[in-house]
Amino acid sequence: MEHTKLSQSLEDYLEMVHMLRLANGIARVKDIAAALTVKMPSVAKAMIELKKLGLVTQEPYSGIELTEEGERVAAMILNRHILLKSFLIKLGVSEAIADKDACCMEHILSAETLGKIEDFMKPAEMVPLARKSKVLKTKKK
Amino acid sequence: MEHTKLSQSLEDYLEMVHMLRLANGIARVKDIAAALTVKMPSVAKAMIELKKLGLVTQEPYSGIELTEEGERVAAMILNRHILLKSFLIKLGVSEAIADKDACCMEHILSAETLGKIEDFMKPAEMVPLARKSKVLKTKKK
DNA sequence: AATAAATGTTAGATTAATCTAACAAGCGTT
DNA sequence: AACGCTTGTTAGATTAATCTAACATTTATT
């Protein structure tokens, strides 16, 4: 609801909470810090902000949970990440770099550009028939 | 020579100096501020940093010049911008948004990704014969 | 159960980028 | 040449994100 527009940094933290919960079932401060290569106090501060925004909850000294809204936002960011990563891989970028660059791009691209990238990716998935896969049809309507 | 890795912000300022000099012959504080939608004191501070880094020179109260090194770096950034913008346009993004998003992307993408995007763009420029411009041939070699 | 190790939090400093307000210089018109 | 407008600079505050150091809690080991 509140579209308070997260900073890039907070988007990263929120996304990481989500990813760790998917991967490990729990998002711990230590693991978030390690994954984002920051120190634990940075995570603590970020969590305070995300709590203020109503995106996460946390009982002191335990794992971080997502609120419903937090889940929704995190999933959106993660989807962007996945879209961009596969896009880059399709361009021939190696997986590690695709992951890293997707991680930066996911915070800055406009909805329009994301939409076009989606268009670009979709046909290939939907029509694996066309072997040559020349895409980017400048669609007329 | 010194690869002190400019911040995104300083890259933007340096690029804008270059663009204004190309467009108007002179880069004035006021115009830089307007173009980047910041206030003049922000420009002044940025110029102090760029001077420290040996990328620009400026006589007090007059236009900003690029050093040889500054010119080199600025041209590199501008090239990235142009590459990314045309890439986005090719994907179907409108010019204004392509420009804006290119401006963000130009600071964050890895050399590998930039290289792949270049590869992606090249064939089309070399073969302007194909009228329909259906692109992204997953080139085999 | 006591203690040690691991994990989490709080306090406070640092850095970068921005802003506003106040001051200074240059220029253009009369 | 003097005044006023435009442009540029300096000083100082603010905000966000990080860090280190110190402290607190929880978990594991004996």
Instruction: Judge: A135–B136 Cβ closer than 8 Å, yes or no.
Output: yes
Closest by CA to B91, choosing from A126, A139, A101, A78, is A139
So what's the pLDDT on residue B141?
Answer: 34
B95 in helix, strand or coil?
helix
So what's the pLDDT on residue A104?
Answer: 96
Residues 6 or more apart in contact with residue B119 via CB below 8 angstroms: A91, A92, B139
Distances (CA, A) of A46 to A5, A33, A56: 15, 11, 10
Distance in angstroms (rounded) separating the CA atoms of residues B27 and B108: 25
So what's the pLDDT on residue A75?
Answer: 97
Domains and CATH numbers, chain A: 8-73 (1.10.10.10), 79-124 (1.10.60.10)
Instruction: Judge: A105–B109 Cβ closer than 8 Å, yes or no.
Output: yes
pLDDT in tens, A21-61: 999 999 999 999 999 999 999 999 999 999 999 999 999 99
Task: List the single protein residue with the shortest CA to C1' distance from D7.
Answer: B30
> Out of A116, A119, A137, whose CB is closest to B134?
A137
